[in-house]
A and B are shown apart, each in its own frame.
Chain A
Amino acid sequence: MSLPVEAAEALQTFQNAAGWEQRARLLMQLGDRLPPLSDADKCEANRVHGCESQVWLVGELRDGLWQFAASSDARMIRGLVALLLLRVNGLSAAELQQIDLPDWFNQLGLSRQLSQSRSNGLNAVLQRMNELAQ
């Protein structure tokens, strides 16, 4: 399964990033470019619990392909979520089931964001995505 074009670009950029500062800047840029969620979508039902910040995630199958959208009031997690959406949007249900998302963040050099002790919520977002995709 080949990487979506945007995901491949992001991967290249993060793999070339020198140091935490540049990675942080890239995350913020990605987060800032994430299309905003409507206020109606920022409801309790769409909120991902287990995050330090508020994160909302919605997803639907359109013509058999997953389209997720998300937002957060914190910039770093918004950037992390943007990286997640780059990887999963447009996949079929079967493709989404197969994908190794922890490995995706590992390739990006962001595996620490998924460690058990992190409360930033990326783990919670992944879990919620799995639930939505069931």
Chain B
Amino acid sequence: MMIPSPWRADFPAIAALQRQDQTYLDNAATTQKPQALLDALAHYYANGAANVHRAQHLPGAHATQAFEDSRLKVAQWLNAGDSGQIIFTHGATSALNLLAYGLEPLFHPGDEIVISALEHHANLLPWQQLAQRRDLKLVILPLDDDGVIDLAAAVHLIGPRTRLLAVSQLSNVLGAWQPLPALLAMAKAQNALTVVDGAQGVVHGRHDVQALGCDFYVFSSHKLYGPDGLGVLFGRNSALEQLRPWQFGGEMVLEANYHESRFRPAPLGFEAGTPPIASVIGLGATLDYLAGLDQDAVAAHEAALHDYLLRGLAARNGIRLLGKPQLALASFVVEGVHNADLAHLLTEQGIAVRAGHHCAMPLLKRFELAGAIRVSLALYNDSEDLERFFEALDQALELLR
């Protein structure tokens, strides 16, 4: 059965990669960009760049208008409404570091921060380092056999000392939705702050931060078909009141003196220095593009491709999946074959997949693996991409076995 992507031609890089005999299946790492984004970047730079929130001149007014329009589009994308603010950072990692530094004064020795065993390093290391700085306990929620956070265990681990819960919405290695409503309810019952790492989740389906009820929601633009160098932090109003500025300089200041200063409230107070203006404008264009797509058709396409991927892997001998992937990606190892060897031979055949620890070393160690191969899908992939991958996989395994 053929599964064509009706959106493939909207992404010019896919054709360019194909001309270089490259099949791009590393979309959980970063995505190709729609023409609409390329046009927006070209338009901004060709028609007059200017800094934002600083100048009274016309180019500055135009840039600021476009920049703030993007903020509104992001808020609409997440259905933030009046519940909170959208803060632009330099990436999802940067957003999580902002939280780990900006919330630091709230923590006292012995307090607990709860994360899960499947966190990407970006949602592990900032909290680990905060725990070390403030003498806190970092509590790790275990997973069940399907790669989903074990709620029965979580009930006992999220307790009165829990001050903050930070979990991924969708694992970048296991491709499984995490039970956020139950986890967030447990954290809220303990008056803990809640942080959702939406870096993978935001790419699949629309998510409503008000319905989710988290205090903070983080994602990166480049994984959502947007420009790189840009992260998004949604903060609920009440939670933002507890967040201190982390980085200083630029227009985040309200009044500066030599010996003390006052700072702006969110969002500008958390956007020190010149923000990635073109990227913010570009993300707005990407969201316009995505909003114009039939969401049900996109979801159905991604589900069909994922099913195709899983069936193809299941049809081959000796392949072991990590967890029980539900969508977007599949990570696997092959019995008796080193993942570095497989990665080497897939690369030789122009298959761009990720091999290694996927920025989740502790999780791979838990599976007692040094690494795994990950195939990750985007809306522009089609079944021919997967067929090329399977052919290359068969060739590689034939050589290696």
Contacts and interface: CB of A to CB of B under 8 A. Distances in A.
Interface of A: 20-21, 23-25, 28, 51-54, 73-77, 119-120
Nearest to A20: B348
A54 B369 CA distance: 12
A21 B395 contact: yes
| B341, B356, B370, B371, most chain A CB atoms within 10 A | B341
Q: Which 7 pairs from chain A and chain B are nearest by CB?
A: A20-B348, A74-B338, A52-B340, A74-B340, A53-B340, A76-B344, A76-B341
B297 interface: no
B356 A73 contact: no
A120 B340 contact: yes
Contact of B399 (A25, A51, A54, A77): A25
Contacts of B371: 52
Contact of A52 (B349, B355, B399, B400): B355
22 contacts: A20-B349, A21-B399, A23-B348, A24-B399, A25-B399, A28-B399, A51-B340, A52-B343, A52-B355, A52-B370, A52-B371, A53-B338, A54-B370, A73-B338, A74-B340, A75-B341, A76-B340, A76-B341, A76-B345, A77-B340, A119-B355, A120-B343
Nearest to A53: B340
Nearest to A31: B341
Given A52-B355, A53-B338, A75-B338, A120 B344 contact: yes
Contacts of A23: 348
A112 to B, nearest CB: 8
Interface of B: 338-341, 343-345, 348-349, 355-356, 370-371, 395, 399-400
Contact of B400 (A20, A73, A75, A77): A75
Contacts of B338: 53, 73-75
Nearest to B399: A24
A54 B340 CA distance: 10
A76 B348 CA distance: 12
B304 to A, nearest CB: 31
A119 B339 CA distance: 12
B339 A52 contact: yes
Contacts of B344: 24, 76-77, 120
Contacts of A28: 399-400
A119 B356 contact: yes
Contact of B341 (A51, A54, A74, A119): A74
Contacts of A21: 395, 399
Which of B338, B348, B371, B400: most chain A Cβ within 10 A? B338
Contacts of B343: 52, 120
Contacts of A77: 340, 344
B241 to A, nearest CB: 43
Nearest to A112: B347
Contacts of B345: 20, 24, 76
Contacts of A75: 338, 341, 400
Given A74-B338, A75-B338, A52 B356 contact: yes
A25 B399 CA distance: 7
B336 to A, nearest CB: 11
A53 B399 contact: no
B358 to A, nearest CB: 12
Among B338, B339, B344, B349: residue with most chain A CB under 10 A? B344
Given A20-B348, A20-B349, A28-B400, 14 more contacts: A21-B395, A21-B399, A23-B348, A24-B399, A51-B340, A52-B355, A53-B338, A53-B341, A74-B338, A76-B345, A77-B340, A119-B355, A119-B356, A120-B344
